[in-house]
């Protein structure tokens, strides 16, 4: 049996949980929560990092900080996780979906200008699979129109674009430490703030709408209710676990890179025969190798492959149902959404088992099973012309 994902222990995670208990503080913002935030600020060049209970919580905080007025619009891809849109919709913003680039499956920056209206307030690029969006272009568009940029870097922790860490480029960035991501603590996240104007209000929103952080710093002599907010502080238990992994940032990254490169090498013959397409990483991007996906020629072949693997105990999974086709997408998005690349991709993508502790022998097993299934297929008449060879 080869699962799609397996949570892992890489170092001192459990020891640090015990240590958090002995330090006598397992609620929020203790030793380990502060240590995680500081590590991200120092290593990734982020102005201020606030640890949160999830990436969804971080996106919600960013959405509150955007201060939307009724009718305001937010630009984002349809090919993404629900939270990318829901965090903004619950603050009253209207999602405007933009198509993706066929090479990275990230938002197509060349289509953003055309989606901007006088109601547009923000752009939410999603760094799919840990490969950066074209951030120079996106920031230039945002500057020109006075928009805020919120990077959904849930999958982009420890990846970079032109040498800058994902999450450090937009006004805000959001990280996830969900057990399916690269660095994990069960459920967890972080809000990255790169524009100092937002730091003080972010601290208040995170702490139930109180100015308790200012009180802790001795800036006010009592704390009180000063704004809207919620409980967006993670447990110290989760931060202790996460810190055990962040200490091994590079070790974990190197293993993921090796897994990715093994898949690439072993799948090359199938790609050369035009049976599938491999993912593509532009030169400007240093990936964190968050996932390994392949694109099949059709939904039929993808489903046959997925079922065939499952029959051999290998779990490979598809990904997002595009949000513009969802019930909430219909309710809150525009009526006419023409997203040909998103529609064309839908049904062709398959994600392969990928986790820190996967053995090389298991990767070989996955690829052998894929080869058997795909070479045993007579190409159905419904399928189009053979796939173009690998995008370089």
Ligand X SMILES: *Cc1c(COP(=O)(O)O)cnc(C)c1O
Among 60, 134, 151, 152, binds ligand X (CB under 6 A): 152
Q: Give the 3-state secondary structure of residue 176.
A: strand
Contact predicate 99/111, CB 8 Å: yes
Contacts of 331 (CB under 8 A, 6+ apart): none
State yes or no: residue 308 binds ligand X (CB under 6 A).
Answer: no
Contact predicate 346/324, CB 8 Å: no
* Tokens at 50, concatenated: 């606030």
- Stretch 121-150 residues interacting with ligand X (CB under 6 A): 126
134 or 367, CB closer to ligand X? 134
* Residue recorded with tokens 């969006």: 133
State yes or no: residue 37 binds ligand X (CB under 6 A).
Answer: no
Quote the least distance from Cβ 83 to ligand X, whole Å: 4
Q: How many whole angstroms from its chain centre is CA 307?
A: 26
55 or 267, CB closer to ligand X? 55
Binding track, positions 79-108, relative to ligand X; x by CB under 6 A: -xx-xx------------------------
80 or 337, CB closer to ligand X? 80
- Only one of the segments 49-57, 95-103, 211-219, 244-252 lies at the binding site for ligand X (rule: CB under 6 A); that segment is 49-57
Q: How many whole angstroms from its chain centre is CA 198?
A: 22
State yes or no: residue 54 binds ligand X (CB under 6 A).
Answer: yes
Quote the CA–CA distance of 47 and 43 in Å, as a whole number: 11
Quote the CA–CA distance of 349 and 274 in Å, as a whole number: 15
Contacts of 185 (CB under 8 A, 6+ apart): 177, 238, 239, 241, 242, 245
Quote the least distance from Cβ 128 to ligand X, whole Å: 7
- Only one of the segments 4-12, 15-23, 77-85, 308-316 lies at the binding site for ligand X (rule: CB under 6 A); that segment is 77-85
- Stretch 56-75 residues interacting with ligand X (CB under 6 A): 56
Contact predicate 194/46, CB 8 Å: yes
State yes or no: residue 178 binds ligand X (CB under 6 A).
Answer: yes
53 or 308, CB closer to ligand X? 53
Quote the least distance from Cβ 278 to ligand X, whole Å: 21
Q: Give the 3-state secondary structure of residue 149.
A: strand
* Contact residues: ligand X, CB under 6 A: 54-56, 80-81, 83-84, 126, 152, 154-155, 176, 178, 189
């Amino acid at each position: 049996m080869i699962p799609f994902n397996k949570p892992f222990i890489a170092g001192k995670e459990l020891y640090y949980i015990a240590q958090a208990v002995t330090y006598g503080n397992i609620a929020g913002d203790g030793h380990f929560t502060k240590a995680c935030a500081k590590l991200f600020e120092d290593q990734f060049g982020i102005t201020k990092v606030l640890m949160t209970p999830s990436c969804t919580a971080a996106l919600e905080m960013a959405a509150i900080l955007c201060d939307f007025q009724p009718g305001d619009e937010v630009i984002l891809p349809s090919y993404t996780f629900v939270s990318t849109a829901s965090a903004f919709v619950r603050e009253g913003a209207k999602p405007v979906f933009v198509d993706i680039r066929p090479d990275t499956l990230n938002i197509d920056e060349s289509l953003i200008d055309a989606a901007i209206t006088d109601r547009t307030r923000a752009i939410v690029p999603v760094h799919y699979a840990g490969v950066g969006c074209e951030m120079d272009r996106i920031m230039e568009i945002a500057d020109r129109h006075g928009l805020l940029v919120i990077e959904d870097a849930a999958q982009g922790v420890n990846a970079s674009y032109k040498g800058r860490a994902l999450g450090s480029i937009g006004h805000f960035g959001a990280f996830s430490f969900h057990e399916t991501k690269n660095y994990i603590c069960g459920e967890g996240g972080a809000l990255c703030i790169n524009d100092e104007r937002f730091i003080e209000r972010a601290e208040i929103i995170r702490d139930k709408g109180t100015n308790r952080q200012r009180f802790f710093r001795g800036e006010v002599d009592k704390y009180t209710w000063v704004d809207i907010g919620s409980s967006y502080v993670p447990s110290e238990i989760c931060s202790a676990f996460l810190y055990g992994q962040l200490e091994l940032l590079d070790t974990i990254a190197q293993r993921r890179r090796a897994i990715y490169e093994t898949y690439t090498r072993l799948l090359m013959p199938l790609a050369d025969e035009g049976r599938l397409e491999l993912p593509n990483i532009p030169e400007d991007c240093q990936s964190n190798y968050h996932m390994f996906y392949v694109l099949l020629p059709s939904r039929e072949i993808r489903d046959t492959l997925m079922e065939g693997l499952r029959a051999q105990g290998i779990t490979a999974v598809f990904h997002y149902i595009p949000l513009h086709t969802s019930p909430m997408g219909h309710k809150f998005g525009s009526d006419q959404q023409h997203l040909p690349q998103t529609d064309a991709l839908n049904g062709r993508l398959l994600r392969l088992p990928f986790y820190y502790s996967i053995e090389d022998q298991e990767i070989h097993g996955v690829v052998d099973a894929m080869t058997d299934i795909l070479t045993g297929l007579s190409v159905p008449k419904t399928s189009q012309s053979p796939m173009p060879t690998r995008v370089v």
